[in-house]
Amino acid sequence: MKIERAEVIVTSPGRNFVTLRLTTSDGVVGLGDGTLNGRELAVVSYLRDHVVPLLVGREADTIEDTWQYLYRGPYWRRGPVTMAAIAAVDMALWDILGKRTGVPVYQLLGGRSRRGALAYGHASGTTVEALFTAIRNQLDHGFRAVRIQVGVPGLGKVYGVGTDQRAGERYDYEPAARSVVPVEEAWDTEAYLRHLPTVVEAVRAEFGEALPLLHDAHHRLTPNEGAQLGRALEPHRLFWLEDCTPAEDQEALRRVRSQTTTPLATGEVLNSVHDYRTLISERLIDYVRSSATHAGGITGLRKILDFAAVYGVRSGIHGATDISPVGMAAALHLDIALHNFGIQELMLHNERTLEVFRTSYTFVDGLLDPGENPGLGVELDDEAAAAYEYTPAYLPVNRLLDGTIHDW
Ligand code: GCO
Ligand code: MG
């Protein structure tokens, strides 16, 4: 069964998504997510100009060979654009295989290892009180684990803090602002390091010791600052402290790890198993954050997570809304089948996105499930997709108070 058509579809129902649709000679259709927040068009060109011409005529069921062909063939390896393009092809081929064999993809990955995948939602507030409202909203929405992000006194908008919610409102935070140049935000690490531990203490006092709490430092600390924060948060027993240092500096976590037992997660910006070799083989992290969309698809992320399993490191797959519903579905099939599952991030897509991508995964009682539809279980509505044109949108840039560029 050969690949007969390959289409790259860009749609923007609230935010930009890149989807690859492959159609085989006997009419089976597969979808793959190649969305890279702020660099979507780079992936579109990589696919349209360098990958699609190679795909038409290839056998659709040679998934591993196609992955290796696209990974080794270009000579220039790894990187977010390449691995997002490979991811889109890989997911589409797994989708096709599932549809051809009449089973959900998780069955092809070894079958169900758990009833459902524990999800964590996002809660944020410019103040502690606003954060409490957001946490209550997420608990009311069925989440049993919550990431907490809070404003920092003296600073304006900071990472992860959307507009304050009223009771009952949905969390809706899209960091990529629609503009031709990125928004600039200001940062003060000292103010953040003084403030965050008091906020986590207040959350524990309000919501108790048992609620799994996660926090994302978003690459902003030095190794020693990461160690200080990890130690300061230790009494509050976080589920994880994410990206406390810039992820590509793998050795930075040696310092953090040696000073604190607060669990560590990193990797949403990492896209191949080679980017994790020190992190995993030295057990510097507890959770792998890469998404299937950014790490070469189901095949690429499976390679990372199988390597992680050898060292007792678990999955914590990235699931922000810049992972499309196709990418989320791919994650859920891995979540259900893998033994070393940890937790799954879930930011709920908005109504317009769900008009474009018809999903069949479910979120019930705090658990996600990919469902039983053959393949990945997501269909794309062309008419709805065509209604939402691409608009340039960039993630913010971050500067210290003296103007020095810092990590966002
Ligand atoms: C997370 C991530 C996101 C990223 C976003 C980038 O933990 O979900 O850090 O908030 O900033 O996915 O596009
Ligand atoms: Mg993150």
Instruction: Identify whether the C-beta of residue 233 lies closer than 8 Å to the C-beta of residue 199.
Output: no
Spacing, Cα 150 to ligand 1 middle (Å): 15
Ligand nearest to the CA of 395: 1
Q: Are strands 240-242 and 117-125 parallel, antiparallel or unpaired?
A: unpaired
Is 171 an active-site residue?
A: no
Going through 297-356 in order, the beta strands assigned E by DSSP cover 314-317, 343-345
Among 268, 293, 323, the mutation site with the greatest number of ligand 1 atoms within 8 A of its Cβ is 268
Neighbouring CB atoms inside 10 A of 39's CB total 17
CATH number where 84 lies = 3.30.390.10
Pair 177, 210 in one domain: yes
Per-residue pLDDT at 173: 85
CA torsion angle 330 335 340 341 (round to 10): 130
Atom of ligand 1 nearest to the CA of 147: 7
Residue 247 shares a structural domain with residue 154: yes
């069925």: which residue's tokens? 142
Residue 398 resides in a domain: no
Nearest CA to ligand 1 atom 2: 320
pLDDT at residue 171, as a whole number = 83
Examine the fold and report which residue of 71, 104, 137 is the final residue of a domain before the chain moves on: 104
Same structural domain for residues 158 and 94? Answer: no
Give how far the C-alpha of residue 152 lies from the chain's centroid of Cα atoms, to the nearest Å: 24
Same domain for 257 and 159, yes or no, is yes
Q: Are residues 149 and 217 in the same domain?
A: yes
Residue from 16, 318, 345 to probe ligand 1 pocket by mutation (most atoms less than 8 Å from CB): 318
Q: Which of 159, 192, 361, 388 is catalytic?
A: 159
Which candidate, 124, 247, 243, 140, places its Cα nearest to that of 175? 124
Cα(158) to ligand 2 centroid in Å equals 13
pLDDT < 70: residue spans in the chain: none
Query: What's the CA-to-centroid distance between 321 and ligand 1, angstroms?
Result: 8
Domain total for the chain? 2
pLDDT tens per residue, range 2-36: 999 999 999 999 999 999 999 999 999 999 999 99
Tokens of 42: 């780079």
Rounded to the nearest angstrom, the distance between the alpha carbon of 25 and the centre of ligand 1 is: 38
Ligand 1 binding pocket includes 37 (Cβ within 6 Å): yes
Residue 49 has which token pair?
Answer: 């100009």
Atom of ligand 1 nearest to the CA of 122: 8
pLDDT tens string 90-124: 999 999 999 999 999 999 999 999 999 999 999 99
Residue 407 lies in a domain: no
Question: How remote is the CA of residue 216 from the centroid of ligand 2, in Å?
Answer: 6
Q: What is the pTM of this model?
A: 0.98
Predicted local confidence at residue 183, as pLDDT? 96
Burial of 4 (0-12, 13-18, 19+ CB in 10 A): middle
314 falls within a domain: yes
Q: Are residues 155 and 117 in the same domain?
A: yes
For residue 382, is it within any domain? no
The closest residue, in CA terms, to atom 13 on ligand 1 is 37
Domain boundary among 79, 104, 129: 104
CA 47 vs CA 7, 51, 54, 189, 328: distances in Å: 9, 5, 10, 39, 20
Which entry of 122, 195, 218, 318 is annotated as an active-site residue? 218
Q: Is residue 229 part of a domain?
A: yes
Whether 218 is catalytic: yes
Report whether residue 33 contacts ligand 1, using a CB cutoff of 6 Å.
no
Nearest ligand to the C-alpha atom of residue 40: 1
Domain that holds residue 216: 108-372
| 81 and 202 fall within a common domain | no
